[in-house]
Structure 1
Amino acid sequence: MATAELGDSLDRRGFAQWPGAIGPAQLDALCAQPAVAAAADADAGDRELLRERWCGELAALLRARLAAAGLLAADAVAAQCTLFRKSASRNWKVTLHQDLSIPVAAPADDPRLQAWSRKRGRHFVQPPAELLQRLLAVRLHLDDCGAGDGPLRVVAGSHRHGRLDAAAAQALRAAHGETACTAARGDLLIMRPLLLHASSKATRPEGRRRVLHFLFGPREIGYSLHWSTAI
């Protein structure tokens, strides 16, 4: 897909797919990293991968390519990388939702900030939609993800409606339907966090679906907040 098409799809639909963004040799090297290769399939994921040198280098590569394609500002940073995996021993579903929480260094006293929480020692908060609209999620598929592997399902255009309650989310899905984002190994799925998305359990039990999910955003996020990690 041409860079202009990627930008247009991201603006209109809230997501874009970049086929073959990472080649087989680099994928093999990523999958050989201990944090990926030694990860137990009984565990659904790991949210702390940016602490790994190889992951920081991959984040920098993706950031540069996305910036060159006009999808990220030149001063954008990677704030989080999560490894998600589905397998025969760990098969799960995710209900329809938006990604509303971000990892920050410390709490801030601002009434516009909601739903403070702590996960694995990190602070998370739900900022205003204005900030969420400036963020970009990038999912790198380490394995093929077909219709039977529990791919992400998205409601195209739903990112344009701001924060949605459960009733509004269901109404949008009923009105516009869903798109299953199947992918080949090495493909990127680029999406706005406010895009409604869900996934089903895999129906192909012998399959495996591993995804590196990056969150990118502006270096300065405002609201007296700072990222807990910024690469």
Structure 2
Amino acid sequence: MSLATEIDEQGFAVVEEVLLPMTVEALLREVGSWQDSSADRRGGLRNLLDFPSMRELANSDTLIGLVEPVLGPTATVVRGILFDKTESTNWKVPWHQDVTIAVKERVEAEGFGPWSMKEGVLHVQPPSSVMEGMLSVRVHLDDCPIENGALRVIPVSHKGGKIAVRDVELLAAESAEHICPVPAGGALIMRPLLFHASSASSISGHRRVLHFDYANVTLPSGMNWHEA
């Protein structure tokens, strides 16, 4: 089964050995330098594409080679986030879909809303059609076995479109989940509307993930992606 077919049918795929060990080591050094410079960055960091090295990675042949078979040649990276679970910054996430995008300005457009502000960045919930034209690539910098807060997903759940928050938990409880361990240097590729959750890590150490969102969608009415 091809990567594109697997993601179309299941909503996700795990690809090992996406990055070479030396590349992972270099990224860990850089991420560590950011976090050492500010306590606010210990659990993660938004606006990752503000760092030239992160934009270069997101636009590399390696990652674009994973994205284009699914989204096509017009796909572009629109958001980057660092997540880092540790003993002191540990959390669990309930079942949900990713249903918001980050934009530069508020523009009224049909089907867009509600609006919110997260760490100074404007976010909005777009129509399902926008989220269906997106793909998330989660690059793991640390080994992520089940015990390290590996993502849990409900296969095929992305095909139902955007679901009311109150119904996602109910539907997930009635479905068989799949846990996605990923080795360092590997990537979990998923559709944003796939039901997903994660448990708190139960082991010491880090679970650092570079999360990049890609889209093949042009936003309406002059609206612009925040990081594109």
- Asked if residue 39 in structure 1 is aligned to residue 40 in structure 2, the reply is no
- Secondary structure of the structure 2 residue equivalent to 1:170: helix
Q: TM-score of the superposition, structure 2-length normalised? A: 0.91
Counterpart position of 2:53: 54
Counterpart position of 1:6: 3
Structure 2 counterpart of 1:66, which letter?
L
CA distance in structure 1 between the aligned counterparts of 2:191 and 2:53, rounded to whole angstroms: 25
- Secondary structure of the structure 2 residue equivalent to 1:214: strand
In structure 2, relative to structure 1, the CA distance for the partners of 1:221 and 1:214 (3 Å cut) is same
Counterpart position of 2:195: 196
Query: CA offset at residue 220 of structure 1?
Result: 2.0
Query: CA offset at residue 167 of structure 1?
Result: 4.3
Q: TM-score of the superposition, structure 1-length normalised? A: 0.90
Misfit runs of 4+, over 6 Å: none
- Is the CA contact (8 Å cut-off) linking 1:66 and 1:72 kept in structure 2? no
CA distance in structure 1 between the aligned counterparts of 2:222 and 2:34, rounded to whole angstroms: 38
Q: CA RMSD in A?
A: 1.8
CA distance in structure 2 between the aligned counterparts of 1:211 and 1:23, rounded to whole angstroms: 15
Unaligned runs of 5+ residues in structure 2 are: none
CA distance in structure 2 between the aligned counterparts of 1:124 and 1:189, rounded to whole angstroms: 24
Structure 2 counterpart of 1:105, which letter?
K
Query: CA offset at residue 223 of structure 1?
Result: 4.9
Identity %: 35
Query: CA offset at residue 49 of structure 1?
Result: 1.3
Unaligned runs of 5+ residues in structure 1 are: none
Structure-to-structure mapping, 1:1-231, within 5 angstroms: 4-33=1-30, 35-39=31-35, 43-61=42-60, 62-67=62-67, 70-204=69-203, 206-218=204-216, 220-230=218-228
Residues 85-140 of structure 1, C-alpha deviations (whole Å, 9 max, x = no match): 11111111111111111011111112311111122332110000011001001000
CA distance in structure 1 between the aligned counterparts of 2:170 and 2:221, rounded to whole angstroms: 32
- Is the CA contact (8 Å cut-off) linking 2:96 and 2:169 kept in structure 1? no
CA distance in structure 1 between the aligned counterparts of 2:223 and 2:158, rounded to whole angstroms: 23
Structure 2 counterpart of 1:80, which letter?
R
